[in-house]
Structure 1
Amino acid sequence: MIHPNGKESEPEIFFDYIRRYLFDGRLRKRQVDGCNLLLAHWETLLPQGDSRWLAYALATVHFEVDRTMQPIREYGSDAYLTKMYDIEGAFPEKAVCLGNVHPGDGARFCGRGFVELTGRRNYEDWSQRLGFDLVGNPDRALDGGSQQPSFSMACILVLLPANGSPITSMRSRVTGSMPGESVNRLDKASLIAGFARHCHAAIMPQSGPIYSSTTIP
């Protein structure tokens, strides 16, 4: 693992640390494989990148995919996803914000991937950014391992440095929060920042405290 901002962690140290502090003492093979995939894409895309951003990226994935470290489809039945995100559901204003203007869009463009891309508008945006069709085939957002670089890490790298706090700049733009709406409820901001501190300690075991409870400089 090569990281420029100090003495990097060896893989054994990294996984021993996150196993203890982020995975309750047990790591499954798919979780290890997911971490390795994200680390490999990071080193390919941003080999001289700030390890604090990598820590936040890993922490965000840890939260968004319920610790599986694999791209997942948002939990819930089609009926639930229609209620939450569809123009004919319970929250039509939110559906319009997400670009879900056609009946059926709510379930079709539910959250997918390592960072839970949500809404027709975001699927269209990322199709243009990455040059492959996520609108016609939304499940491509689940195929993080076959794309070089992966869709989800590309999202993270493009959006993390934008407009200050990564908590608002990355997660709101990918998951499609409405203007003024908290990002997946900002009561989770401190939780994710805590995950990020552990990830950074695993990546850079010689480093001290690096950021506050809710932001990364």
Structure 2
Amino acid sequence: MINRTFFFSHAREVLFTGRLSQAQVNGLNHLLDAWEREHAAQDDRWLAYALATSFHETAFTMQPVHERGGAAWFHRMYDPDSPLPARARLARAMKARPGDGVLFHGRGHVQLTWRCNYETMGRAFDIDLSSSAEAADRALQPALAARILFKGMADGLFTGRRLSQYFDGPKEDWKNARRIINGLDCAEAIAVYGRKFYSCISYTTS
């Protein structure tokens, strides 16, 4: 089991400027619980990079969140009827339907977007995430959001890239691991976060 006393003490200093709110502690515990239940035999660097991804994508809250923006922004970014031609083309390529921009905006630790991704995760966990806004909001449930983060990154369900491509034995590529989620957007910063989270991982001796 991960030594959580050490983890929180060290994380507080190297990542959270000396203070952790109860909400941040709760969010981190949900993530560590999910890892220990389903992924504990895997590479600790996978855990560290997934934590770094949540740290970035949730604006350091470590809580599953809605993407920032309102209905008009989501329509422009993710709807096939978007007034922005490039975004409309992307939405059509993702097989989005009119109205999907608002319905399937980013949620969770990793900002899950697009109907097809909600359907994929719904099948992975045998739960309806795509029939309505209420169903999609299940991706915000802490335990499920943590499982989505780890499974999507481990199995390559977000972009086709997976953690084992970047962390496996001597292979270690903290920067390009960002391609699992979103190209190289903020890759350098997230690489730094990942290394810091890795330094927080230790194990109990009993």
TM-score interval for Structure 1 and Structure 2 normalised by the shorter chain: 0.7 to 0.9
**In 2, distance between residues paired with 1:23 and 1:97?**
39
Q: 2:111 aligns with which of 86, 97, 116?
A: 116
Equivalences, count: 183
1:66-105 matches, within 5 Å, as 66-89=59-82, 90=84, 91-100=87-96, 102-105=97-100
**Structure 1 length normalisation: TM-score?**
0.77
1:59-208 matches, within 5 Å, as 59-89=52-82, 90=84, 91-100=87-96, 102-136=97-131, 137-145=135-143, 147=144, 150-159=147-156, 160-161=162-163, 163-164=165-166, 165-168=176-179, 170-172=180-182, 183=183, 186-204=184-202
**In 1, distance between residues paired with 2:146 and 2:55?**
19
**In 1, distance between residues paired with 2:195 and 2:80?**
39
Q: 1:208 aligns to what?
A: none
Q: How much does 1:11 deviate?
A: 1.7
**In 2, distance between residues paired with 1:86 and 1:161?**
29
**In 2, distance between residues paired with 1:64 and 1:148?**
13
8 A Cα contact 1:85 1:92, kept in partner: yes
Q: How much does 1:149 deviate?
A: 7.2
Q: How much does 1:97 deviate?
A: 2.9
8 A Cα contact 1:144 1:152, kept in partner: no
Amino acid at match of 1:46: H
**In 1, distance between residues paired with 2:145 and 2:112?**
18
Q: Which runs of 5+ in 2 are unaligned?
A: 157-161, 167-175
Deviates more, 1:154-163 or 1:57-66: 154-163
8 A Cα contact 2:27 2:142, kept in partner: no
Deviations 1:37-90 (A, max 9, x none): 111111111222111111001001101111111111101010011011111112
Q: Percent identity?
A: 37
Q: How much does 1:143 deviate?
A: 1.0
Amino acid at match of 1:193: A
**Structure 2 length normalisation: TM-score?**
0.81
**Coordinate RMSD, CA, aligned:** 2.0
8 A Cα contact 1:141 1:152, kept in partner: no
